[in-house]
């Protein structure tokens, strides 16, 4: 009985994840890209990391967690998400990793998000 329940749960989750993936493909590429950036930016720690790397105006080698109120493991998880969308580049140098902003991706983020937000019309005629 327990094995059957696990199997049914697996099938449900697999089917549900497939449906979600299929539905996101129904939207324009630009909206999907914007959503990926917004998802990566949806945690204040990631925003703090981006701001910190940006404020230093150089690539950072060493432990970023020394400058944030988070553990090294937590910072590494957030860096992984930022690297996944390409906003941060990481290069291994010896035993350390050097982190830099990916200028092209940051500019793309600015452009995509600016275009998206400019398309949202907020007028005086909205009656709710």
In a domain, 60, yes or no: yes
Residue 2 within any structural domain of the chain = no
Q: Could you write out the DSSP letters of every residue in 11-60?
A: HHHHHHHHHHHHHHTTS-HHHHHHHHHHHHT-SHHHHHHHHHHHHHTS-E
Domain assignment present for residue 71? The answer is yes
pLDDT for 22 equals 67
As a whole number, mean pLDDT of residues 65-89 equals 90
In this predicted structure, what is the pLDDT of residue 20?
54
State the CATH number of the domain containing residue 48.
Answer: 1.10.10.10
Q: Is residue 91 part of a domain?
A: yes
pLDDT digits (tens, 9 = 90+) for 26-75: 888 888 899 999 999 999 999 999 999 999 888 887 778 888 888 888 98
What SS3 state is found at 102? coil
pLDDT reading at 18 higher than 60: no
Give the mean pLDDT of 91-99.
81
Tell whether 11 is covered by a domain. no
| Residue 39 within a domain | yes
Measured CA distances, 35 to 27, 28, 103 (Å): 11, 11, 19
> Per the domain annotation, does 10 fall within a domain?
no
Count of structural domains within the chain: 1
Which of 107, 71, 70, 75 is closest to 90 using CA atoms? 75
User: Could you tell me which residue, 110 or 16, shows the higher pLDDT?
Assistant: 110
> 57: domain range?
29-102
Residue 87 lies in a domain: yes
The pTM (predicted TM-score) of the whole model is 0.72
Mean pLDDT of 80-108: 90
């Amino acid at each position: 009985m327990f094995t059957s329940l696990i199997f049914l749960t697996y099938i449900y989750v697999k089917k549900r994840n497939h449906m979600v993936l299929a539905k996101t493909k129904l939207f324009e590429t630009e909206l999907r890209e914007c959503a990926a950036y917004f998802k990566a930016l949806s945690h204040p720690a990631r925003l703090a990391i981006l701001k910190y790397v940006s404020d230093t105006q150089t690539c950072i080698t060493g432990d970023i967690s020394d400058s944030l109120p988070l553990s090294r493991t937590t910072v590494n998880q957030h860096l992984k998400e930022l690297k996944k969308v390409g906003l941060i580049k990481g290069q291994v140098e010896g035993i350390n990793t050097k982190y830099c902003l990916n200028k092209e991706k940051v500019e793309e983020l600015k452009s995509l998000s600016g275009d998206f937000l400019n398309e949202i019309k907020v007028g005086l005629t909205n009656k709710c």
